[in-house]
Amino acid sequence: MKQQLLKKFEEVFGDADGVKVYFAPGRVNLIGEHTDYNGGHVFPCALTIGTYAAARVRNDDKLRLYSMNFAETGIGESTLADIEKKTDGDWRNYPKGVIWAFGQKGFKVDKGLDIVFNGNIPNGSGLSSSASLEVLTGFILKEIFGFDVSNQDLALIGQFSENKYNGVNCGIMDQFAVAMGRENSAIFLDTADLSYEYAPISLDGAKIVILNTNKKRGLGDSKYNERRSECEAALASLQTKLDIKSLGELTEEEFEANKQLIGDDVKIKRAKHAVYENQRTIKAVKALKDNDLELFGKLMIASHDSLRDDYEVTGIELDTLVAEALKQNGVIGARMTGAGFGGCAVSIVKTECVDSFIENVGKAYKEKIGYAADFYVVEIGGGPKVI
């Protein structure tokens, strides 16, 4: 990939003198969905697939960005002076947003950049191509300009840029998982206070298989922000009696005893998911520590059921993939992952059954949905780095 990027950089920008190559991973969340903006726990891991970039600093304030994934859009040129100007629906808003966010946080980028990007995360799949691009851009800025920021800072700046520049009211999980990834470990993160621990993932005789619906979605125009506001309204109702800052503070029993305060059946369902999913995530991490992969799988399945029935963010494509996955031999667990409304599901499958699993689920999905799903057998990787 490095040589491929350097060659493309030379083609696009004339020469590759002084260019360095960088990488940031994608991520998959094993359990804990739509909890990160509700003050709950999440359990993501970084992947060995991700986003690569070849970058070089300039002597002026010109910004030239090119993506091998969106070659048809050509070179996007702008200047640091007009960094606040967004282009409707353009991928360049993600790196531009990070440069803008660095400035907002007191780290002024005073020279332009030439950057070629290339990612092997399927776009719009729910494996955090946007967070990968954001953290990667932040890491490049840190390395080139010597900014004194930690990887955790890169996650927070990436989230800030997505919230304030790109208008997606996302939680911290995606950027945190990308920036803080560790090989062969998932991150048990409490999004309420950003305390975290690494939990080694030991999948003896099993593999993580990602199932991509190939239904494209965009978070900004999905019902993501609507779900968030529904949870905020439910929380406000509960706060009329309970001294809590987030839904993540409640146990299942506390929620059941007080849910009538919410006074709206739909908002009760949304809040129920947030509370129960948080508790499932805590139980799932304990199950892994106890080497109880079977229980972990059952909690994954319960997570999907809740996302389908209470949070209503799955849809026929994800539901079909998960239902067909659970019919197969050797499947320990399966659930949608990411924001939903398309994107991906994640499953844990016994190694000897992976090939038949992919064949059988793929066939059934195409028959029902009318187009093919894609499958990726993935490994857990580390965070951003210079290559």
Catalytically annotated residues: 174
Give yes or no for a contact between 63 and 80, defined as CB atoms under 8 angstroms apart: yes
Look-up of token digits 């470990």: 185
Alpha-carbon distance of 129 to 190, in angstroms, equals 22
- For residue 200, give the 3-state DSSP assignment: strand
d(CA 383, CA 23): 8
Euclidean distance between CA atoms 47 and 261, whole angstroms: 41
Structure tokens belonging to residue 48: 């060995």
Q: Which one, of 214, 200, 225, 232, lies nearest residue 344 by Cα?
A: 214
Structure tokens at 341: 């409304």
CB 117 within 8 A of CB 53: yes
Structure tokens at 195: 């305390």
Q: 207, 354 in Cβ contact below 8 A? A: yes
User: 13: closest CA among 95, 113, 151?
Assistant: 113
Parallel, antiparallel, or unpaired: how do β-strands 62-67 and 206-212 relate? unpaired
Alpha-carbon torsion (215, 218, 221, 225), positive or negative: positive
- What the block records as the tokens of 43 is 């359990």
The Cα-based distances of 319 to 84, 323, 353, 356, 385 in angstroms read 40, 6, 21, 20, 36
Report whether 44 contacts 57 (CB < 8 A).
no
Q: How far apart are CA 171 and CA 34, in angstroms?
A: 8
The total of other beta-carbon atoms located within 10 Å of residue 15's CB is 9
Residue 344: both structure tokens together: 């991906």
Of 39, 43, 346, 306, the closest CA to residue 192 belongs to: 39
Nearest to 138 by CA among 115, 164, 122: 115
Tokens of 116: 């070629």
